[in-house]
Structure 1
Amino acid sequence: MVGPRARPGGARRPAPPRRPGPGALLAGLVRTARPRQWVKNVLVVAAPAAAGQLFTTAALTRLPLVLLLFTACSAAVYLVNDARDAESDRAHPVKRHRPVAAGQVPVPVAYAAGCALAVLAPLAAVLLCPPLTAAVLAAYVAMQLAYCLRLKRVLVVDLAVVAAGFLMRAMTGGIAMDIPLSRWFLITTGFGALFMVAAKRYSEAVEMAGRGGATRALLTEYTAGYLRFVWQLAAGGAVLGYCLWALETGGVPQTGLLPWRQLSMIAFILGVLRYAVFADRGTAGEPEDVVLRDRPLAVVALVWAVLYGLAVTGW
């Protein structure tokens, strides 16, 4: 039996990856699109929920479509990102198992699928949603692709781009529903997104301290002290923006049984403080994982949602 051809120096040439079948290819494309990350796109309901229009007929018919289109846009970005990083991912102990790096999805196929979704999703929004919705989706795709190609290597800008992605998710639902976006909504959401992004980066920096490598291009260039400053600043901005909304009474009829707006501040601040515990420990990874694995934080989030719902509906 003839063995694999040896390279000079005795190293063996790795066997080329086998061509995947249609089922394996489709499964690989779905995995590359990161289904676990799709939960972030639920933020498209934030603006309609804040306006008390989440369960209207228009919301129930249009928001699922917007959620689908935003999911397609985010999947496009993941596909292009993994295709671009396939070579470097093969040298990473964990990322080498990604479908593109492992050869389950050929690089040209990942590029083609990502580009197709990046074009088709905004075009579908042009036909099915208000024009500005398509513009936001196209801007999101362009910004995230720029992040993959260049901006993830630019200090501070990388944090701003990731936070802006969360903010654009939250804005899109309101734009699709023709809901005016409150300045307090934008301030609180923007700072809240920056808080979670910086807390995650800080946790990664703490985890990688003393190790010989980083999972992100800029992680070794940020100091833990700087990232701590950013998430603390952002947490303060989010709390301040929310409290200013809750205490604002101009033009808001006081018809509720209790001051739900003001009471919701307590739950919101408690939630930020509880999340900051994990940020300070360096264990604040994916936001959805933090909330789901910590029962007290999940309870606080539920209480806040109830109080906020009572506030915006005027009960």
Structure 2
Amino acid sequence: MRVIDPPGPQGMAQRPEPPAGETAGGRPGTLASLVTLIRPLHAAKSLLLVPIALADAGTWTLTALGEVGWAVAGFVLAGACVYVGNDIADRDRDRAHPTKRHRPIAAGHVSVRAGYLYCTALLALLGVLVGFGPGRPYWPLLAYLVLNVAYSRSLKHIPLIDVCAVALGFALRVVQGSVAIGERVSGWLLVTVFSVSLLLVIGKRRQELLETGAAHRPALRGYSVELANQLLQLTCVLTAVAGLIYLSTEAPLGPYGQAAMLLCTPFALFALFRYLQVVLVQGGGGDPVRAVLRDRGLAATGLALAVVLGTTLVLARHPALAEAILR
């Protein structure tokens, strides 16, 4: 496996850097641009993944909820720092992309100097949050930041390693949630989260191949649409198998694990089928967060899965209620 060297500034459409605090048109940067820069919609990643650890908690105490909430806030801030840093590093390549050229730094709505100051302020806020937070370790969050520095500098230029690095960042969110409440993280749950994340990232790479090729992302020289299609199929199988094994073995569902596995199977398969349809037929998947949150089929299936799992979890934790309902 070889590292794909990123293209230099030659041959790419360049714009002069706007003065600090000004846009390309001479207008001062706006609060809206700063908010857009941290991609608030992507906070859903932390809001959905970090609290998964509560499913393995014996009881939901206010202390546990508070510690998970603190961990969510930490990862939201860490993600914001990563987005700002990546947009600064990738601003030249982003200007050659049909969609990413509208990002605040690439478009000149936020200057590079302002971006650095913004990222520094976010890191300082993150340091305060960790320093004054609960006494739980924050090594998964630190590992996430180190991983993303390595990703920005080199890993994103290595085909196959790039998608695995991104997926690992999602799994670290789940680990942080488990560390926050002092629970052992489930191995099969981590495999499931990692494989789902890998599926979304591969779908994104496939769409980038179709839209811009390797001009924007040098690592795409190590991919092809056919390879992406094969990887999507392989990852779908891993996702389905890992998720169903988790439900039937390690999930805290007591005697209802097998029932949950059977009830979730059709919904899980439909969700995977629908995602493949969105990517392979409809040409979606370029923005995984929007694809998942805004597609009605995926949203409805996700809600159905949440209802099934939530119901079985309640029944497993309250045997008397289960006996009254099922007898």
Q: State TM-score, norm by structure 1.
A: 0.81
Instruction: Provide the residue aligned with 1:3 in structure 2.
Output: none
Instruction: Provide the residue aligned with 1:300 in structure 2.
Output: 301
Larger Rg: 1
How far off its partner does 1:202 sit?
A: 1.5
How far off its partner does 1:94 sit?
A: 4.2
Q: Secondary structure at the match of 1:80?
A: helix
How far off its partner does 1:266 sit?
A: 2.4
Q: Which runs of 5+ in 2 are unaligned?
A: 1-14, 317-321, 323-327
For residues 158 and 243 of structure 2, the distance between their equivalents in structure 1, rounded to whole angstroms, comes to 30
**Over residues 243-281 of structure 1, what are the superposed CA-to-partner deviations in whole Å (9 max), with x where a residue is unaligned?**
21233389963269x923431222222211221222322
Instruction: Provide the residue aligned with 1:272 in structure 2.
Output: 272
Moved over 4 A (4+): 13-19, 52-55, 90-94, 249-252
**Over residues 10-43 of structure 1, what are the superposed CA-to-partner deviations in whole Å (9 max), with x where a residue is unaligned?**
xxx9795474499835443322112222222213
Instruction: Provide the residue aligned with 2:287 in structure 1.
Output: 286
Instruction: Provide the residue aligned with 1:6 in structure 2.
Output: none
Q: In structure 1, which of residues 157, 161, 164 is the aligned counterpart of residue 165 of structure 2? A: 161
Q: In structure 2, which of residues 129, 144, 148 is the aligned counterpart of residue 144 of structure 1? A: 148
Counterpart residue type for residue 204 of structure 1 = E
| Cα contact 1:17–1:103 (8 A) shared by 2 | no
Instruction: Provide the residue aligned with 2:5 in structure 1.
Output: none
For residues 37 and 70 of structure 1, the distance between their equivalents in structure 2, rounded to whole angstroms, comes to 11
Residues 246/152 of structure 1: CA separation in 2 closer, same or farther (3 Å cut): same
Instruction: Provide the residue aligned with 1:9 in structure 2.
Output: none
Residues 53/278 of structure 1: CA separation in 2 closer, same or farther (3 Å cut): farther
Q: In structure 2, which of residues 184, 189, 194 is the aligned counterpart of residue 185 of structure 1? A: 189
Pair 1:172 & 2:158 matched: no
**Over residues 144-180 of structure 1, what are the superposed CA-to-partner deviations in whole Å (9 max), with x where a residue is unaligned?**
1221122111111111111111111222222212121
After superposing the two structures, state which structure 1 stretch, 303-312 or 108-117, moved more.
Answer: 108-117
Q: Which runs of 5+ in 1 are unaligned?
A: 1-12
For residues 73 and 60 of structure 1, the distance between their equivalents in structure 2, rounded to whole angstroms, comes to 20
Q: Which has the higher contact order (CA 8 A, sep 6+)?
A: 2
For residues 210 and 96 of structure 2, the distance between their equivalents in structure 1, rounded to whole angstroms, comes to 23
| Cα contact 2:37–2:83 (8 A) shared by 1 | yes
For residues 244 and 175 of structure 1, the distance between their equivalents in structure 2, rounded to whole angstroms, comes to 23
Q: Secondary structure at the match of 1:128?
A: coil
Instruction: Provide the residue aligned with 1:65 in structure 2.
Output: 70
**Over residues 85-138 of structure 1, what are the superposed CA-to-partner deviations in whole Å (9 max), with x where a residue is unaligned?**
334444555444332234332312312332443354255324313443x21111
Identity over the aligned pairs, expressed in percent?
Answer: 31
For residues 150 and 158 of structure 1, the distance between their equivalents in structure 2, rounded to whole angstroms, comes to 9
For residues 84 and 136 of structure 2, the distance between their equivalents in structure 1, rounded to whole angstroms, comes to 26
| Cα contact 2:105–2:111 (8 A) shared by 1 | yes
Counterpart residue type for residue 202 of structure 2 = A
For residues 163 and 56 of structure 1, the distance between their equivalents in structure 2, rounded to whole angstroms, comes to 30
Counterpart residue type for residue 270 of structure 1 = F
Counterpart residue type for residue 36 of structure 2 = R
For residues 57 and 250 of structure 1, the distance between their equivalents in structure 2, rounded to whole angstroms, comes to 22
- Aligned length, in residue pairs: 298
**Over residues 202-255 of structure 1, what are the superposed CA-to-partner deviations in whole Å (9 max), with x where a residue is unaligned?**
22223446xxx6432222431111111222111111111112123338996326
Counterpart residue type for residue 279 of structure 1 = V
Matching of residues 28-177 of structure 1 within 5 Å: 28-51=33-56, 56-118=61-123, 120-122=125-127, 124-132=129-137, 134-177=138-181
For residues 207 and 103 of structure 1, the distance between their equivalents in structure 2, rounded to whole angstroms, comes to 23
Counterpart residue type for residue 267 of structure 1 = F
How far off its partner does 1:64 sit?
A: 2.7
For residues 266 and 58 of structure 2, the distance between their equivalents in structure 1, rounded to whole angstroms, comes to 24
**Over residues 67-99 of structure 1, what are the superposed CA-to-partner deviations in whole Å (9 max), with x where a residue is unaligned?**
221111111111122222334444555444332
Counterpart residue type for residue 170 of structure 2 = F
| Cα contact 2:17–2:108 (8 A) shared by 1 | no
Q: State TM-score, norm by structure 2.
A: 0.79
Residues 249/136 of structure 1: CA separation in 2 closer, same or farther (3 Å cut): closer
Instruction: Provide the residue aligned with 1:229 in structure 2.
Output: 230
RMSD: 3.1
| Cα contact 2:20–2:111 (8 A) shared by 1 | no
